[in-house]
Structure formats: C-alpha cells, structure tokens
Amino acid sequence: DAKTTQPPSMDCAEGRAANLPCNHSTISGNEYVYWYRQIHSQGPQYIIHGLKNNETNEMASLIITEDRKSSTLILPHATLRDTAVYYCIVRVNAGGTSYGKLTFGQGTILTVHP
Amino acid sequence: SAVISQKPSRDICQRGTSLTIQCQVDSQVTMMFWYRQQPGQSLTLIATANQGSEATYESGFVIDKFPISRPNLTFSTLTVSNMSPEDSSIYLCSVVSGRLWEQYFGPGTRLTVT
C-alpha cells in the first residue's frame, strides 16, 4: 500500500471549516483513499473514502486532486467533538487476504478551539 | 454499520500471565481483524481472523504469543500469552461490513502489564 504524509497537528476554530491535507504521491491506480479518525480512548471511526471523484457524506467531504497524488478532508463546520487524530490511508479496495489491512500512519492531531 | 463490543474494556495483569479478549459483533461478518495500539503510537495489525480458517499473522506477531479463535461469524477471541510490560497496549477488534465495505472498530481493550 502507498505511503501517506500528513501534518502532525492542526488547529481550527469551532464553527469554521477544517481542511486536513494528505499527500500520497506514490498511489497506484487501483488504490482508494480512506479517512478515519480516533477520538481519545476510542476505536477508530470510518469517515469517508474515494477513488478519484470527490465524495461527500453526512460527516465530511473528500477532495482528491486530478493526479490523485494528494487529497483533502473537509469538515465543513468543526465542533469541539471533532477534536481527534485523523488518519489518511490508501489501500487497494479488493478482496483476498489483504483486505482490511489498513496501514495506519501517525495521522494529524486536529484540535478544535472554542 | 456494525456494532462491536469488546470484553474486558480494561485490565491490569501480572507479568507471565495470559489474558483473553473477546470481540462480539451484532451482525455476521466474514473478515475480522485484531490490531494493537501501543502507548502514544498508531495502530498495527496483528492478524486477520476469518471463520473456518486459521488466522493469518502479520510480520512480528506469532500464534504462540497471540492465539486467536474464530468459532462463528459474530465472535472472536485474542489471547495475549505470557505477558510482559511491553504488551501493555490497547487491543482493538475490527470488521469489514456495509455496502461500501467500510471497516469498523471496537472500543478497544486497554491492557496494562505490571
């Protein structure tokens, strides 16, 4: 699986949009971009994933550049409860024994301030 | 989505003993995974446990140290054997579920070995 690079930490004011970047310059054509977050003392929570088109769900939006070498997770109106470690992961979305093998990096610690 | 519970939620154990962690899912799932998160670190996959087959271990993890059972499609156990303080970690169960093949995580078991 391709390696990802994320800033170690970011701050955001409550109510503002939080834009979390991720570089994945070695991503392969069949690898998806996944985002998870881990709130303190809890298990990781799935947020969103995509291949090449921008995606949106009730939690966030995912913007993937045209060359797919980077992406941005957008939390449109951050709240204090969004304070967490955010992980960007790239992975082949296929079956077999490698499925589910998420390789977690160090992630970005997002702190939302009042 | 899949709802995952783990028992115990936390435990303090003595060196040389063993602890069995239980993972229960509210729906039938084929693929179940065990992760470890050492203090201040990211998550590392220990093994993949599919029902009806032997667990597949990642590099650095062996069956004698982390035996796994998967008796049915909703349950699995991970045993941490002959524990040492280096085994102090959060152990997380995870499954793949849903129409988008999202991966869900349990709340984790916080283990402290003294």
pLDDT at A98 over 70: no
* Residue among A87, A104, A85, A111 at smallest CA distance from A1: A104
- How high is the pLDDT of residue A103? 84
Q: Counting Cβ atoms within 10 Å, is residue B17 exposed (0-12), middle (13-18) or buried (19+)?
A: exposed
Place of tokens 């790239």: A90
Would you state the structure tokens that stand for residue A77, as one six-digit string?
A: 């109106």
Cβ-Cβ contacts under 8 Å between A and B: the total is: 47
Rounded Cα distance between A50 and A5, Å, is: 17
pLDDT tens-digit profile, chain B (114 residues): 789 999 999 999 999 999 999 999 999 988 899 999 999 899 999 999 988 888 999 999 999 999 999 999 999 999 999 999 999 999 999 998 776 667 899 999 999 999
Q: How far is B81 from chain A (nearest CA, A)?
A: 23
pLDDT at A97 over 60: no
Which of the four pLDDT bands, split at 50, 70 and 90, describes residue A1?
low
Q: Mean pLDDT throughout A17-36?
A: 93
- The three-class DSSP label of residue A112 is strand
Cβ-contact A64, A53 below 8 angstroms: yes
Cβ-contact B32, B95 below 8 angstroms: yes
Q: Which residues of chain B lie closer than 8 angstroms to A97, CB-CB?
A: 48, 56
Could you tell me which residue, B54 or A101, shows the higher pLDDT? B54
- How high is the pLDDT of residue B2? 86
B58: nearest CA partner in chain A: A101
Q: Which residues of chain B lie closer than 8 angstroms to A99, CB-CB?
A: 31, 96, 101
Cβ-contact A47, A37 below 8 angstroms: yes
- The chain-wide mean pLDDT, for chain A, equals 90
Which of the four pLDDT bands, split at 50, 70 and 90, describes residue A91?
confident
pLDDT at A70 over 60: yes
- DSSP annotation of A73: E
